[in-house]
């Protein structure tokens, strides 16, 4: 029996368990930095598989790291995220969230159960591992400016042994169940945040000349943000700057002292992401000078863009197409302007992220990520396991690592 058949047979044998794990995790979601019981559940399962090298509460977080394989050869990592969102679930599924106001609305329960399935199969077939595979159960992906991935990386999750390549996956509600997709280059956007206070001088609305109007200044600033995208940035580089929160004023006849706002800046280009803070502050400073206001700017670097490494991407997609067929493995036409902190790993190691199709109109599974009606077609979990496990094992048996390089 060849490697492909061995993996597929094991996936079929454990599909019921993988679905059970996913449903348990869905019933008991935990928010970022609160994944205590989730981490304990993951550790318990890993140890029940007979895996000895398990580190719980990794680096003082709720993360869990498991190493399976040998102490020689190349080292591959497979990463999943484990946190949920502060959303009240509106589904009527029997495994509906039992934690009010908390929900796995981004599929991290699926990611975690897929990774557990991979761990169980690997432990039973350690003889197939020509090296070491590290499985990373990462907390706190849903808070962009906290960056759970970076915290684990700074604590050494990519070292001891040094990871040569890393694979990740995210569910994709716009892709039909039974398909796996990815694309070369950028797959997700950067996710910077900014918080701004515009400080004016309050006065009666009938005498605006005696004050400095922060509401007018904020309006002009928000309008001018669009000029950054349309006039300072190459139109061939996808980017967006949006203000999603604004607060100011207490009455119709009072010009207030200040206005507060929050927004996000996103791009698919790593170099452009580094220029956003300067572009935004230059615009803010100029507008405030014109209208006689001062400002405070707090610019929070979020996750960088997810950019697949070219050679590893081609290697992975080619072997998956050979194993599963071109109808199953598709090249996505477009990236998303959503963010994913898997990008942090890709800044430091070659890697690939895939998108797992979970959409099934016949089952009513049509809702987007972060929706209170979000759900997955659980039959997709089998493909998720194969998509991460097969390239990882094939990579360990290849010479691909000698050709891979990090993007500048």
The one-character DSSP state at 232 is I
CB atoms within 10 A of CB 151: 20
CA 178 – CA 382 distance, rounded (Å): 9
Q: Report helix, strand and coil shares of the chain as percent, to nearest 5.
A: 40, 25, 35
Predicted confidence at residue 147, as pLDDT, reads 72
Predicted confidence at residue 390, as pLDDT, reads 97
Alpha helices in 198-242 (DSSP H): 214-227
Q: 367 in helix, strand or coil?
A: coil
Is the C-alpha dihedral spanning 369, 147, 332, 313 positive or negative? negative
Strand ranges, E, within 91-225: 131-138, 165-176, 180-182, 185-188, 192-199, 203-204
CA 284 – CA 221 distance, rounded (Å): 6
Q: 325 in helix, strand or coil?
A: coil
Q: 101 in helix, strand or coil?
A: coil
CA 289 – CA 198 distance, rounded (Å): 11
Predicted confidence at residue 128, as pLDDT, reads 87
Strand partners, 199: 258, 294
Q: Please give the helix or strand (H or E) that residue 44 lies within, else none.
A: helix 36-48
Predicted confidence at residue 408, as pLDDT, reads 47
CA 298 – CA 277 distance, rounded (Å): 10
Inter-residue contact 304 to 292 (CB < 8 Å): no
CB atoms within 10 A of CB 292: 13
Burial of 127 (0-12, 13-18, 19+ CB in 10 A): exposed
Residue ranges and CATH numbers for the domains of the chain are 3-187+304-402 (3.40.630.10), 192-300 (3.30.70.360)
- CB-facing half-sphere around the CA of 194: CA atoms within 13 A: 23
Inter-residue contact 137 to 80 (CB < 8 Å): yes
Assigned token pair, 72: 């020689």
| Rg of the chain on CA atoms, in Å | 24
Task: Look at strands 258-267 and 239-248 and give their pairing.
Answer: antiparallel
Tens digit of each residue's pLDDT, the chain (408 residues): 699 999 999 999 999 999 999 999 999 999 999 999 999 999 999 999 999 999 999 989 999 999 999 988 999 999 999 999 999 999 999 999 999 999 999 999 999 999 999 999 999 999 989 999 999 999 999 986 667 899 999 999 999 999 999 999 999 999 999 999 999 999 999 999 999 999 999 999 999 999 999 999 999 999 999 999 999 999 999 999 999 999 999 999 999 999 999 999 999 999 999 999 999 999 999 999 999 999 999 999 999 999 999 999 999 999 999 999 999 999 999 999 999 999 999 999 999 999 999 999 999 999 999 999 999 999 999 999 999 999 999 999 887 665 665 554
Q: Please give the helix or strand (H or E) that residue 23 lies within, else none.
A: helix 3-27
Predicted confidence at residue 399, as pLDDT, reads 73
CA 351 – CA 363 distance, rounded (Å): 33
């Amino acid at each position: 029996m060849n490697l492909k058949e061995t993996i597929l047979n094991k996936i079929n044998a454990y599909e019921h368990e993988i679905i059970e794990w996913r449903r348990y995790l869905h019933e008991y979601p935990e928010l970022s930095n609160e994944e205590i019981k989730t981490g304990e559940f993951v550790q318990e399962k890993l140890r029940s598989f007979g895996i000895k090298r398990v580190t719980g509460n990794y680096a003082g977080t709720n993360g869990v790291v498991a190493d399976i394989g040998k102490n020689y050869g190349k080292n591959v990592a497979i990463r999943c995220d484990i946190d949920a969102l502060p959303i009240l679930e509106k589904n009527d599924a029997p495994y509906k969230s039992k934690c009010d106001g908390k929900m796995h609305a981004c599929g991290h329960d699926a990611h975690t159960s897929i990774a557990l399935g991979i761990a169980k199969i690997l432990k039973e077939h350690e003889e197939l591992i020509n090296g070491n595979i590290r499985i990373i159960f990462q907390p706190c992906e849903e808070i962009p400016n906290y960056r759970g991935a970076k915290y684990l990386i700074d604590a050494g999750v990519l070292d001891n042994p040094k990871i040569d390549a890393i694979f990740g996956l995210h569910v994709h509600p716009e892709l039909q169940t039974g398909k796996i997709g990815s694309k070369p280059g950028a797959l997700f956007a950067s996710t910077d945040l900014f918080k701004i206070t515009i400080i004016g001088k309050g006065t009666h609305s009938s005498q605006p000349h005696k004050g400095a109007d922060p509401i007018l200044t904020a309006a002009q600033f928000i309008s001018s943000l669009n000029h950054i995208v349309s006039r300072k940035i190459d139109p061939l580089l996808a980017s967006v700057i949006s203000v999603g929160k604004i607060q100011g004023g207490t009455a119709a006849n009072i010009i207030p002292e200040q206005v507060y706002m929050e927004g996000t800046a996103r791009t698919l280009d790593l170099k452009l992401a580094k220029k956003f803070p300067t572009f935004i502050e230059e615009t803010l400073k100029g507008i405030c000078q014109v209208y006689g206001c001062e400002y405070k700017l707090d610019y929070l670097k979020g996750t960088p863009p997810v950019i697949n490494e070219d050679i590893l991407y081609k290697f992975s997609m080619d072997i998956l197409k050979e194993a599963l067929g071109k109808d199953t493995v598709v090249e996505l036409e477009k990236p998303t302007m959503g963010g994913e902190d898997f990008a942090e790993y890709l800044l430091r190691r070659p890697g690939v992220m895939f998108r797992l199709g979970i959409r099934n109109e016949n089952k009513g599974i049509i809702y987007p990520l972060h929706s209170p009606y979000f759900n997955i077609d659980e039959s997709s979990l089998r493909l998720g396991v194969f998509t991460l496990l097969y390239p990882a094992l094939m990579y360990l048996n290849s010479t691909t690592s000698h050709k891979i390089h990090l993007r500048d």
